[in-house]
Amino acid sequence: MVEQAEKEEGGFAKLLNFLTSLLPIAIIGGLLYAGFFVKGSTDVKKVEPKAVERRDNFYSIIAPTDQIAWAVGTGGKIIRSEDGGKSWIRQQTSTIENLQGIAAWDAQTAVAVGNRGLAFHTTDGGKTWKPSSVPKSDNPNKLLRVSIFDGTAWAVGEFGGFFRSDDKGATFARVLPEKDSALNAVSFRGKNGILVGEFGSMLTSSDGGATWVDAPVENKVSLMSIAFSTETEGVAVGLAGTLMTTADGGATWTLVPPLTREHLFSVIWDTNRWVVVGDKGIMLTAEAGAKDWKLGKVFEGDIAWRTQIVKGGSHYYVAGANLGILEDGKLTIVGR
């Protein structure tokens, strides 16, 4: 029996040695199986960028209602607020070119323009922005601003770029031939239009924009923005602090003695007063009559350049180096 036990013990030892020799192979095989056939279940969440980032510049803004606003800027960015500027969402476009101007017919219908002669339009509140048809050019053809008067959209830009759209921004037609001079802004009162641009250029129309004629003025400094409060009272502003007023619908213009040498980029009549913004946080204001102008700042200590100001409900939106909301004397920078 002892002899039998020894034989069994020896056999068991051999079996154990054999199984032990197979263990590394089994481990390697298991690892290979796991690598090839077992898939991880880790969920990877996509991090969406913020609608407004610190590096963003916004060149234009529009507020079709008290609560709704759109702003456009660098990298093809379009953002929209539906709560008076408290929160913003980014809307997608098919470009990374800078967008320079935006205008809206209402809360659902808008058009944006920008570099390389690009334009986009929406009819669903910006859920989709479709490319617009714009005549091509061999010149850079940057579109700088777009405005809406009596349902027609007018876009202005470099190299005499001047276009109109009668189908809510879907297609644009060239109005004037190209020339080596930029057009920066347009304003209409009924069928009477005034177009301003580089080197103090001014053109007028009395037939709804069908034809335009030169209207020489004393000023030779580039004009950047123009607005009217009534049929007769208007203001135009430009580089190096240029400020001009008219009391006869634009037939004659008076140069206001300069209050600043900073560039002025945007003028509006907000139903109560004239407001002008420009470089280094400059703000000019005047009451009806546009005679007693006051020099100030968008906000004390603010030195940002401002390309546009619009009224939205109880506050102003300011575009430029950043996007700001000015209310009750306080400036809030969006995204900070």
Tens digit of pLDDT per residue, the chain (336 long)?
Answer: 434 444 444 554 454 454 445 555 545 455 445 454 544 545 555 566 789 999 999 999 999 999 999 999 999 999 999 999 999 999 999 999 999 999 999 999 999 999 999 999 999 999 999 999 999 999 988 999 999 999 999 999 999 999 999 999 999 999 999 999 999 999 999 999 999 999 999 999 999 999 999 999 999 999 999 999 999 999 999 999 999 999 999 999 999 999 999 999 999 999 999 999 999 999 999 999 999 999 999 999 999 999 999 999 999 999 999 999 999 999 999 998
Q: By residue range, what is the domain housing residue 29? A: 1-40
DSSP type of residue 128:
-
Structural tokens at position 117? 């002669």
318 beta partners: 309, 324
Task: Look at residue 47 in the predicted model and tell me its pLDDT.
Answer: 62
Residues 85 and 179 occupy one common structural domain: yes
Q: Which residues are within 8 A (CB) of 259 and not within 5 positions of it... i.e. 6 or more apart?
A: 241, 243, 284, 293, 295
Residues 25 and 153 in one domain: no
β-pairing verdict for 254-255 and 264-269: unpaired
The CATH number linked to 144 is 2.130.10.10
- Residue 48 in any domain: the answer is no
Residue 137 CA to residue 153 CA, distance in Å, equals 20
Domain count, the chain: 2
Task: Give me the phi and psi of 30, to 5 degrees please.
Answer: -65, -40
Segments in the chain forming alpha helices (H): 2-37
Nearest-5° angle of CA 285, CA 288, CA 291? 65
Return the pLDDT at 173.
98
Model confidence, pTM: 0.85
Residues 17 and 155 in one domain: no
Residues 202, 301, single domain; the answer is yes
- Count the Cβ atoms, other than its own, within 10 Å of residue 26: 10
Helix (H) or strand (E) holding 49: none
Which residues does residue 165 pair with via DSSP β-bridges, in sequence order? 153
Does one domain contain both 31 and 74? no
Residue-level pLDDT at 46: 59
Contact between 250 and 194 under an 8 Å Cβ cutoff? The reply is yes
Assign 45 to helix, strand or coil.
coil
What Cα–Cα distance (Å) separates residue 197 from each residue in 40, 237, 278, 304, 305? 62, 10, 16, 23, 20
Under 8 Å CB-to-CB from 90, ≥6 apart: which residues? 49, 51, 77, 78, 79
Q: Assess contact for 269 and 227: CB atoms under 8 A.
A: yes
Rg, Å, the chain Cα set: 32
Q: Across-strand partners of 110?
A: 104, 122
Residues 293 and 223 occupy one common structural domain: yes
| Among 255, 229, 243, 330, residue whose Cα is nearest residue 295 | 243
Residue 18 and residue 84 share a domain = no
Residue 21 has what pLDDT? 58
